[in-house]
Each structure stands twice: as structure tokens, then as C-alpha cells.
Amino acid sequence: MSLNAERSYKMKLRDVENAFKYRRIPYPKRSVELIALLAISCTFFLFMHTNKLNSRLKEMEVKLQPSEFSALGLTGNHISGHDAGGKHDDINTLHGTFQYLKSTGQLENLDPAHLNNTPKAERDFIFYNRLEKTGSQSMTRLIKQLGDRLGFDTYRNIARPWRSITESEEDEKDLVEQLFELGEHAVYVEHANWVNFTQYDSPRPIYINMVRHPIQKVISAYYYQRHPLIFAQSLMRNPNKPMQTKKFFDTNFNDCVRKRVSPHCVFDAHNPFNGDWRRFSLHLCGNSEICTHFNSETTTQIAKMNVEREYAVVGSWEDTNVTLAVLEAYIPRFFTDATKVYYSNTENFTINNVSHDTHLDKDVEEYLKSSFAFEIELYMFIKQRLYKQYIAVHKNEF
Ligand SMILES: *[C@@H]1O[C@H](CO)[C@@H](O)[C@H](O)[C@H]1NC(C)=O
Ligand SMILES: *[C@@H]1O[C@H](CO)[C@@H](O)[C@H](O)[C@H]1NC(C)=O
Ligand SMILES: *[C@@H]1O[C@H](CO)[C@@H](O)[C@H](O)[C@H]1NC(C)=O
Ligand SMILES: *[C@@H]1O[C@H](CO)[C@@H](O)[C@H](O)[C@H]1NC(C)=O
């Protein structure tokens, strides 16, 4: 794609949520046939709903690497799970985190002000560099409804047919300048990596994001990309995208990983395909080369540092109520009544999700647990921080 074409996509950034949401994509004839064909070859997995993954993930005893950064001041040996006596809850739950803070004497001095990065922002503007397959469209819709209610503007970019995994410094600068022009009391949403606005002498925004268990995220991404409608849409955005074989659509995740059918299913650190959008340390780390390393301790540490020092809130739909409460408490100008609005029409916020087979075979699960060890550590760090922020505000309710 030429630089100019790429640029013009960026320039259309003011395209607002409304226009985007209701835009009808005309389906050319070929695409209709294509969809029908794909639908036939893919339907089988649409019937394979199972709730096994959740319980399987709960069973996992994830062994994490030692790490300096920790939301709870824990060493790597402790971050992973049950406390020594095993009497208390798993530490990676709201109550487990509460118990831990209480038993270590941290609870008493827990102060929301120390966990609040919102006052560090130099403008009244949220930059939500949303992660793929974490329910970001649902969050974007919620933000839109809150904007209509509270009187702030919401913007998102036009989807690009193709993008590199990192932006050049020049592109970063363009983005920062354009976001500055959008004005105050507004939210901008894009699949992008963390950007240091200060580096471009631009006022620092309020950063937010959402996460999800890394293994669930990768399974979700796998089937999402193979969903007939989603695939057809991406073909229409990018006509140069190669058509795929029936095998591509029919292979289930376990087989793809076990047989290393395609580079998309190989999660070794050296595999360049790990550079795509299936992991989240990249988004939270930034656009430098070091951030492209998959499951790397260094990338993870930078991401943790950014989360701790820069992000106002990184939430998760796995903890809907905690996330909404933390957003309300720490970013009230944008999220007042988020819980109320969300529960007044939940059906409006469960969108863009594709039903898929969630079964994980034991060998595949083992492979993924080790391949994603640092990603999982980062994820747990984020969850512990979220719980800690919640507890700081609601400690008397436990
Ligand atoms: C952002 O950039 C500024 C200015 O270059 C620098 O001082 C600061 O350390 C950077 N922040 C992060 C988190 O990298
Ligand atoms: C979350 O909040 C809603 C609305 O207040 C409530 O009905 C629901 O039980 C809560 N869920 C959990 C898991 O606490
Ligand atoms: C659900 O979303 C639609 C379109 O976004 C909106 O018109 C409608 O008011 C929403 N429903 C509720 C109950 O807010
Ligand atoms: C997907 O969305 C539908 C409603 O559109 C909802 O019933 C279902 O629970 C959602 N699935 C997940 C996994 O959230």
C-alpha cells in the first residue's frame, strides 16, 4: 500500500462512531457466493458451543517467572496463586487479593489516590488503544452511550485493510497531532500500540484498556478470523488478501497447534507470526522494536511499567462489575453511571462475538501455558491491580 493511501486512511480519523456503526457494507456478487461457500464449510464449529474452557482455565496452575514488578508487591513465586497455607482464596480473585492485602497489613494504608493515574493527564481526553478480542467493541459502544448521556464526543478510526504491527515515529507523531485537534472532553478508540504523547510535546491523555485471559484471547482470535462473515469482510477491505483453502476454515484449533499447520498456530518466541495482533504485551508496551518480542520478559516488564504508571484503568469483561465500578471511581467525568447504563441494556453490549469450539486438549494446553507464560503473568498483574483499585474504594464492603 502506498504511503499516500495509508495517509488518507489516517486523515479520515474523524469518522465518528455513529457513521461507522451504521455503515452498510455492500456485498458484491462474488462475495455473496463466497459467504455461502464459507458458511457451508464452517458451520460445524458454530454448533460446538462448550463452556469447558472456563473451568479448564480455572484448573490451571500457572507457574510464573520471578518478576520485579507486581501490583501487590509480590515476588514471582507468590503472584501465581494460592498462598502458602492454602487457607485463603486464590490470589488472582477479588477476594484472594483482599485477603492478601489484609494479611500483609497493606489494606489499612490503601489509598485510591496512590492508584489513580487520571490526575496525571494533561488534557480531558481518553486514548483507548483497544486490544483485539477483549470485548473492545462492547466497551466502545458503552463509551458512545455514556458520551451521549454525559456530553462528550467519541471518535474511532476507519478500519484499515492492512497495518504493520508497529507504527513509525512519523506515524506516531501524525496520530498525536490529529488527536490533539479533536479537542477536549472526548474519547478516541483505535487498535493501536501505546504512544508516549509527552515525547511529541503533546499533553498526556487518560489511557485505558481492557484485557482477557491470553489463551482464551488467542482461541477467540483463531475462530474469529475463520468466521465466514468476518473473513469476507476482511477480503472486501483488502482485495489483495489471498483466498484460503477449505482446510484453513475447517481445521480446529487443537489440530492446528499440535500439527503446526500454519504459522498462525505456532507460538514459539522466534516465530515472526507471533508479531501479529494475538498477544497484548505489544499494545501495552508501545511501538519500539523491543515491544514486538513475543512472550518476552523485557516486553512484559515495559508493559507492566506502562500499566502501573500510565494507564488510569485496564479492566476486563471477565470482571464486569469490578471494571465498571473502577472506571466510575477513577474516571468519573467519562464513566459516571457506567454500571447503570450497562445493566439497563446488556444486550446492546454483547456484540461482535463469535461462538466457537473452546475445548483444549491437554498437550495443547501445556504448550500454550508455557508459550504464553509471560503474557499470562502480565494478565494476572493487570487483574491484581484492577482488584486493588477496586478494594481501595470499596474496602468497607468486604
Ligand atoms: C515519555 O517521553 C518522555 C519525553 O521523552 C520521557 O521523559 C518519558 O520517560 C517517557 N515515558 C515513558 C513511560 O516511556
Ligand atoms: C453485577 O451487578 C449486577 C447489577 O448490579 C448484579 O445483578 C450482578 O449480580 C452482579 N454480578 C456479580 C458477579 O456480582
Ligand atoms: C441499544 O442501542 C441502540 C443502537 O445503538 C439504541 O438506539 C438503543 O437506544 C439502545 N438501547 C437502549 C435500551 O439504550
Ligand atoms: C455472544 O452474544 C450473545 C448475544 O448477542 C450472547 O447471548 C452470548 O452470551 C455472547 N457470548 C459470549 C461468550 O459472551
Q: What is the pLDDT of residues 372-388, one digit of tens each?
A: 999 999 999 999 999 99
C-alpha to C-alpha distance for 104 and 11, rounded to whole angstroms: 52
Q: What is the pLDDT of residues 114-126, one digit of tens each?
A: 999 999 999 999 9
Q: What is the residue with the minimal CA distance to atom 7 of ligand 2?
A: 343
Percent of the chain having pLDDT more than 70? 75
Higher pLDDT: 383 or 131? It is 383
- Tell me if residue 191 is catalytic: yes
Higher pLDDT: 68 or 224? It is 224
C-alpha to C-alpha distance for 287 and 308, rounded to whole angstroms: 18
Higher pLDDT: 33 or 130? It is 130
Cβ contact 38:231 at 8 Å = yes
The whole-number pLDDT of residue 133 equals 82
What residues have CB less than 8 Å from 195, skipping those under 6 apart? 127, 129, 167, 172, 175, 176, 286, 287
What residues have CB less than 8 Å from 380, skipping those under 6 apart? 62, 64, 79, 80, 92
Cβ contact 298:86 at 8 Å = no
pLDDT, the chain, mean: 78
Per-residue pLDDT at 18 exceeds 90? no
> Hey, which of 5-14, 25-34, 318-327 has the most confident mean pLDDT?
318-327
Per-residue pLDDT at 21 exceeds 50? no
The whole-number pLDDT of residue 172 equals 94
Domain borders along the chain are: 108-394
Per-residue pLDDT at 391 exceeds 90? yes
The residue ranges of DSSP E strands in 152-266, in sequence order, are 153-156, 186-189, 206-211
Per-residue pLDDT at 261 exceeds 70? yes
Q: Tell how far the Cα of 350 is from the centroid of ligand 3, in angstroms.
A: 12
Higher pLDDT: 164 or 326? It is 326
The whole-number pLDDT of residue 89 equals 60
Each as own residue / partner, the long-range contacts of residues 253-257 (CB below 8 Å, 24 or more positions apart, any chain) are 253/219, 253/222, 253/223, 253/357, 253/360, 253/364, 254/359, 254/360, 254/361, 254/364, 256/222, 257/364, 257/367, 257/368
C-alpha to C-alpha distance for 232 and 247, rounded to whole angstroms: 16
What residues have CB less than 8 Å from 266, skipping those under 6 apart? 257, 260, 273, 274
pTM of the model: 0.80
- Tell me: domain 108-394, CATH 3.40.50.300, correct? yes
Per-residue pLDDT at 52 exceeds 60? no
Q: What is the pLDDT of residues 170-210, one digit of tens each?
A: 999 999 999 999 999 999 999 899 999 999 999 999 999 99
Among residues 78, 88, 191, 359, the one annotated as catalytic is 191
Q: Tell how far the Cα of 236 is from the centroid of ligand 4, in angstroms.
A: 26
Closest of 123, 139, 120, 122 to residue 186, by C-alpha = 123
Cβ contact 156:189 at 8 Å = yes
353, 354, 356, 358, best to mutate for ligand 4 pocket (most atoms within 8 Å of CB): 353
Residue 137 pLDDT level (bands cut at 50, 70, 90): confident
Per-residue pLDDT at 270 exceeds 70? yes
Residue 55 pLDDT level (bands cut at 50, 70, 90): very low
Q: Tell how far the Cα of 191 is from the centroid of ligand 1, in angstroms.
A: 21
Higher pLDDT: 88 or 67? It is 88
In ligand 2, the atom with minimum distance to the C-alpha of 321 is 1
C-alpha to C-alpha distance for 365 and 57, rounded to whole angstroms: 9
C-alpha to C-alpha distance for 99 and 93, rounded to whole angstroms: 10
The whole-number pLDDT of residue 81 equals 43
Q: What is the pLDDT of residues 77-110, one digit of tens each?
A: 444 443 334 444 688 899 999 999 999 999 999 9
Please name which ligand lies nearest the alpha carbon of 344: 3
Q: What is the pLDDT of residues 225-257, one digit of tens each?
A: 888 888 888 888 788 888 888 888 888 889 999
Q: Tell how far the Cα of 282 is from the centroid of ligand 4, in angstroms.
A: 27
Higher pLDDT: 208 or 71? It is 208
Please name which ligand lies nearest the alpha carbon of 220: 4
Q: What is the residue with the minimal CA distance to atom 12 of ligand 3?
A: 345
Q: What is the residue with the minimal CA distance to atom 3 of ligand 1?
A: 199
Ligand 3 pocket check for 20: Cβ under 6 Å: no
Average pLDDT over residues 338-361: 86
